[in-house]
Amino acid sequence: MSVEIKVGPPVITISQGRTFMVTSYAGEIQAGSDQGVFAVDTRFISFYRLFINRLPLKVINSSELTFYAARYHLTNSEITTEGGVIKANSLSLTINRTVNEGVHEELELINFSGKKATFLLEVSIRSDFADLFEVKAQKVVQRGRTETVWHKHQRQLRTSYDNRDFHRAAVYRVTNIPHQTSVGYANGRIFFEIEVDHGESWHMCADLLLEHGQEIKEPLPGSCSFVQQATASAGALASPGRASSSDFAARQARWLNRCTRIVTSNNNLRRMYAQALLDMGALRIYDMDVSDDAWVPAAGVPWFVTLFGRDSLTVSYQNMAVSPAFARGALKRLADHQAIERNDWLDAQPGKILHEMRVGELSHFHKIPFYPYYGTADATILYLIVLSETYRWTGDVDLLRQYQQVAENCLKWIDQFGDLDGDGFQEYQTFSSLGYENVGWKDASNAVVYVDGHQVKQPKALCTLQGYTYDAKTRMAEVFQALGDEASATVLQRQAQILRQQFNNAFWMEDEDCYAFGLDGHKKQITSVASNAGQVLWSGIADRDKAERTTRRFLQEDMWSGWGIRTLSSNNPAYNPLDYQNGSVWPQDNGIIAAGFKRYGMASEANQVIRAIFDAIERFDAYRPPEVFAGLKRKGDLDFPVLYPGGANIPQAWATGSIFHMLRTILGLRADAPHKRLYVRPTLPDWLPDLELQRLRVGRCTITIRFWREQSRSCWEVHDVVKDSGVAEEDAIQVIEDSDV
């Protein structure tokens, strides 16, 4: 008999935009933890707990309802009161919470004790206003002044924090309670004097308002289940002027209506894809929207709810066959912050694309170089790849004209600052005193190691950077041709071919059947076997015979966990399957590697990787892939993947986007909207007998395609091509079998 296993973190996280709340299963925010209510890189609430007559409540069960809402069911221990004993488990307390600009919560308590019960319900709530970086590091430093004031008549608790011109405040406001309930504040707790007969219920609504130097926005509670009751009651006080519902549902609906949909008999894939669509829409940072069709994704909840370079661009690429809206938004917002001068504290040089932007207290006072920080070796290169890919899917030549100067600045940075010694390879060197040791996608301080396990010192020329650069220059040659600049196109194509030849000579490890992790500062090979070599195939820089050998090498036991390809070979002394990037498995990494395998014609190997990652995702709670999980060896069909112990982001944008990317790989989708074509090369595995894409957007057409297996052969047919208004028949997209292997 099969057993369904679901793996998830021991917390409940709900969020919208830049506001999120992380609690225990009991709905509590535990002291000394990394839980809390967060917004704009600040933790506003650091402790929250409910008590009845000073005794904590017990959790029965709880669950996230949607991305932005959760419900918790609690009950009591035995309570001794002046009126007698209230037996354990005779009071039922339900908490409903929604997150928007703030938090709205509803408490409903029902008495099942068999008699009237009188007691105090207490809400203990505290704020530390800690910077997100310090919360994550669990090293919170008190700097400014905190003050708490209870406003009796407004029934609200306001705690403010001020450090010179840096201001934050949290206001907990009781908005709806029964007329007969007395509310007060003492000893650090808001208390409610409650008297309920057997079978009766008591309810309360409260808002948590967050002040952070911008317009103070009240939370939008949606359809508050208690508002009608409260306003109908003679003594209830409703909050005047409150919006009746959030626009989040409408935004999500617009997102989902624009996305490519799938129909398949594989139920797990269907559910996985549907959850990915919901999460990707919910990760959108609304206040960074450029327009109705240009958005920016947050990298992940809880730690990366901000604009990133590498993450935003990778996610944009992954989403291209779902919706190009994220790409349009990321290209614009990252262009807005392209560096124009050298600043070593920020690791900035002219033309460079940022790594990460923060607005918390540490960034505000320039204690950390994140306003923004430019410590990334690949975001500038990836910007060009995503610009090209967006053009291929949309056919929008105006997009190229809009960002032509940005692209030229990126290319200058690649040649002048990305290549530190002029040898044609990309190397990185950190100049900021608080900058990162490693600034490739593996950016942990210990992530780049020699074959003996020792750390590689800067400068470092990782193999991935060379592949990205080859791809970017090849693509930009196409872009400049579209812009009518044949001279620049010719130069870029020649540079790309020279780089490819030099790379295959300098990075290949004949005895390992694999590309080297990179070159060190002495231009010696870093001979560790690492997953970076797999991403080389995705870029197209690899020679065919070397690509085939690398593929086979990656499926050997030291790299293959059964749940995916590890970041580092288990033969390396630095290998640790529980480490962030020295033996763990990353869905995003595996998605890129699988695409590389398919690019070189190794479809069955690509499907093997995809199946392993999908098997893992099926076992994660709610079909949500974490950004990273342990690289422990899979032991049979009843085994399950192990979470990364450091607390991976769930949901995380490029882990979620990897689902879209891997499906695109299976179907072999390659858009060429400028030439009115969509290429397909389906290689459906036996576990995916059929799949239909609906509302696939290419150029100015929307396409429906059905794919299916007949024995071992993958078949496809176009069901519909719907042209936008004004598009001539000869300009419709044609779907063609792709023979470019």
pLDDT digits (tens, 9 = 90+) for 412-427: 999 999 999 999 999 9
Class of domain 12-246: mainly beta
Kindly tell me if the per-residue pLDDT of 224 is higher than 60: no
Judging by beta carbons within 10 Å of its beta carbon (0-12, 13-18, 19+), is residue 638 exposed, middle or buried? exposed
Q: Which residues 6+ apart lie within 8 Å of 643 measured at CB?
A: 7, 8, 9, 626, 629, 630
The model's pLDDT over 90-118, given as tens digits with 9 standing for 90+, comes to 999 999 999 988 999 999 999 999 999 99
- Give the per-residue pLDDT at 249: 77
Nearest by Cα to 219 from 231, 211, 209, 227: 209
Contact by Cβ (8 Å): 736, 677: yes
- Give the per-residue pLDDT at 291: 87
- CATH 3.20.20.70 describes domain 249-657: no
- pLDDT band of 331, cuts 50, 70, 90: very high
- Give the per-residue pLDDT at 292: 83
CA 622/CA 6 separation, integer angstroms:
8
Range in 162-166, 220-224, 347-351 the model is least confident about: 220-224
- Give the per-residue pLDDT at 650: 83
Range in 96-105, 378-387, 540-549 the model is least confident about: 96-105
Sheet containing strand 677-680, strands side by side: 670-672, 677-680, 734-737
Kindly tell me if the per-residue pLDDT of 367 is higher than 70: yes
Contact by Cβ (8 Å): 482, 673: no
Would you tell me how many other CB atoms lie within 10 Å of the CB of residue 497?
A: 13
Looking at per-residue pLDDT, the higher value among 328 and 292 belongs to: 328
Judging by beta carbons within 10 Å of its beta carbon (0-12, 13-18, 19+), is residue 287 exposed, middle or buried? exposed
- Give the per-residue pLDDT at 220: 56
Kindly tell me if the per-residue pLDDT of 229 is higher than 60: no
Where do the H-state alpha helices sit in 283-403? 310-318, 325-336, 361-364, 379-394, 397-402
Mean pLDDT, the chain, as a whole number? 93
Share of the chain above pLDDT 90, in %: 84
Kindly tell me if the per-residue pLDDT of 689 is higher than 70: yes
Coil, strand or helix at 45: strand
Q: How far is CA 381 from the centre of its chain?
A: 21
- pLDDT band of 246, cuts 50, 70, 90: low
Q: Which two tokens stand for residue 37?
A: 């209510």
Q: Going along 412-486, which residue ranges are E strands?
A: 461-462
Would you tell me how many other CB atoms lie within 10 Å of the CB of residue 140?
A: 16
Kindly tell me if the per-residue pLDDT of 668 is higher than 80: yes
- Give the per-residue pLDDT at 700: 96
Stated length of the chain: 741
Contact by Cβ (8 Å): 431, 347: yes
Looking at per-residue pLDDT, the higher value among 8 and 472 belongs to: 472
- pLDDT band of 221, cuts 50, 70, 90: very low
CA 566/CA 569 separation, integer angstroms:
7
DSSP, res 171: E
- pLDDT band of 301, cuts 50, 70, 90: confident
- Give the per-residue pLDDT at 17: 86
Nearest by Cα to 375 from 293, 312, 437: 437
- Give the per-residue pLDDT at 702: 97
Would you tell me how many other CB atoms lie within 10 Å of the CB of residue 308?
A: 26
Mean predicted confidence (pLDDT) in 481-494: 98
Contact by Cβ (8 Å): 659, 624: no
Q: Which two tokens stand for residue 298?
A: 């947050």
At 606, which amino acid appears?
Answer: A
Would you tell me how many other CB atoms lie within 10 Å of the CB of residue 307?
A: 25
Q: How far is CA 445 from CA 345, 436, 450, 451, 623, in A?
A: 18, 7, 14, 17, 30
Kindly tell me if the per-residue pLDDT of 648 is higher than 90: no
Range in 13-17, 124-128, 416-420 the model is least confident about: 13-17
Q: Where are the domains of the chain?
A: 12-246, 249-657, 677-737
Range in 301-310, 555-564, 623-632 the model is least confident about: 301-310
CA 90/CA 111 separation, integer angstroms:
6
Mean predicted confidence (pLDDT) in 709-732: 94
Contact by Cβ (8 Å): 329, 313: no
- pLDDT band of 6, cuts 50, 70, 90: low
Contact by Cβ (8 Å): 662, 615: no
Kind plus residue range of the DSSP H or E element containing 249:
helix 248-258
Mean predicted confidence (pLDDT) in 213-227: 54
Q: Report the 3 state secondary structure along 299-313.
A: CECCCECCCECHHHH
Mean predicted confidence (pLDDT) in 75-88: 94
